[in-house]
Amino acid sequence: MRAKYHKHTTVLEAEVGYRPSFIWRSLLSAQDFLNRGLRWRIGNGDSVSIWGDRWVPAAPEGFIVSAPCGLPADAKVRELINPDTRQWDTTLLAACLDKEMEEAVHSIPLRDTTEQDIQIWASSRNGEFVVKDAYRCWVEQENKDHGRTVPDAAPVWKKIWKLNVPPKVRHFLWRFAKDSLPTGVKVSAHNPRWSDRCPFCDQVETQAHTFGDCEWGRRIWRPSPTSVCFEKKVGEDCLAWLEAVIDEVELNLLESWSVLLYYIWKERNAHLFNGFKMNELEIATSAAKLLADYQLRQEKELNLQMETPRKVWTAPPTGRIKINSDAGILPESRCCSKGLSWPIPLCSG
Ligand SMILES: [Zn+2]
Per-residue pLDDT tens digits for 131-177: 666 666 666 666 665 554 433 345 677 778 889 999 889 889 988 98
Is pLDDT at 349 greater than 60 in this prediction? no
Q: Is residue 129 part of a domain?
A: no
Q: Is residue 144 part of a domain?
A: no
Between the CA of 211 and the centroid of ligand 1 the distance, in Å, is: 9
Inter-residue contact 283 to 266 (CB < 8 Å): no
Between the CA of 272 and the centroid of ligand 1 the distance, in Å, is: 12
**How large is the average pLDDT for residues 281-299?**
92
Give percent of the chain above pLDDT 90.
30
Q: Are residues 167 and 285 in the same domain?
A: yes
Between the CA of 256 and the centroid of ligand 1 the distance, in Å, is: 22
Q: Are residues 179 and 283 in the same domain?
A: yes
**How large is the average pLDDT for residues 203-216?**
94
Q: Are residues 171 and 289 in the same domain?
A: yes
Q: Are residues 162 and 72 in the same domain?
A: no
Q: Are residues 19 and 108 in the same domain?
A: yes
Highest mean pLDDT among 50-64, 132-146, 214-228: 214-228
Give 292's pLDDT tier (boundaries 50, 70, 90). Answer: very high
Q: Are residues 212 and 300 in the same domain?
A: yes
- In DSSP terms, which residues pair with 39 in a beta bridge? 120
Q: Are residues 165 and 292 in the same domain?
A: yes
Task: Label residue 129 exposed, middle or buried (CB < 10 Å: 0-12, 13-18, 19+).
Answer: middle
Q: pLDDT value at position 20?
A: 66
Give Dmax (Cα) for the chain: 83
Inter-residue contact 105 to 59 (CB < 8 Å): no
Q: Is residue 336 part of a domain?
A: no
Q: Are residues 252 and 161 in the same domain?
A: yes
> What's the rounded Cα separation, in Å, for the pair 58 and 45?
18
Interacting residues of 177 by C-beta distance below 8 A, sequence separation 6+ = 156, 160, 238, 239, 242
Between the CA of 209 and the centroid of ligand 1 the distance, in Å, is: 6
Between the CA of 95 and the centroid of ligand 1 the distance, in Å, is: 24
Is 143 or 261 the better-scoring residue by pLDDT?
A: 261
Q: Are residues 175 and 73 in the same domain?
A: no
Domain boundary among 66, 101, 122: 122
Inter-residue contact 31 to 16 (CB < 8 Å): no
Q: pLDDT value at position 145?
A: 58
Q: Closest by alpha carbon to 293, among 259, 334, 330?
A: 259
Between the CA of 245 and the centroid of ligand 1 the distance, in Å, is: 22
Between the CA of 204 and the centroid of ligand 1 the distance, in Å, is: 8
Between the CA of 212 and the centroid of ligand 1 the distance, in Å, is: 9
Q: Is residue 233 part of a domain?
A: yes
Q: Is residue 106 part of a domain?
A: yes
Q: Closest by alpha carbon to 163, among 251, 264, 265, 260?
A: 251
Domain count for the chain: 2
Domain boundary among 76, 98, 122: 122
**How large is the average pLDDT for residues 225-250?**
89
Q: Is residue 225 part of a domain?
A: yes
Q: pLDDT value at position 141?
A: 65
Q: Closest by alpha carbon to 33, among 215, 167, 162?
A: 167
Crossing angle for the helix pair 238-248 and 155-162, nearest 10 degrees? Answer: 70
- 14-25: per-residue pLDDT in tens? 666 666 666 666
Q: Are residues 106 and 180 in the same domain?
A: no
Q: pLDDT value at position 235?
A: 87
Mean pLDDT of the chain, nearest integer: 79
Q: Are residues 286 and 167 in the same domain?
A: yes
Domain boundary among 71, 105, 122: 122
Domain extent at residue 172: 154-308
Q: Is residue 349 part of a domain?
A: no
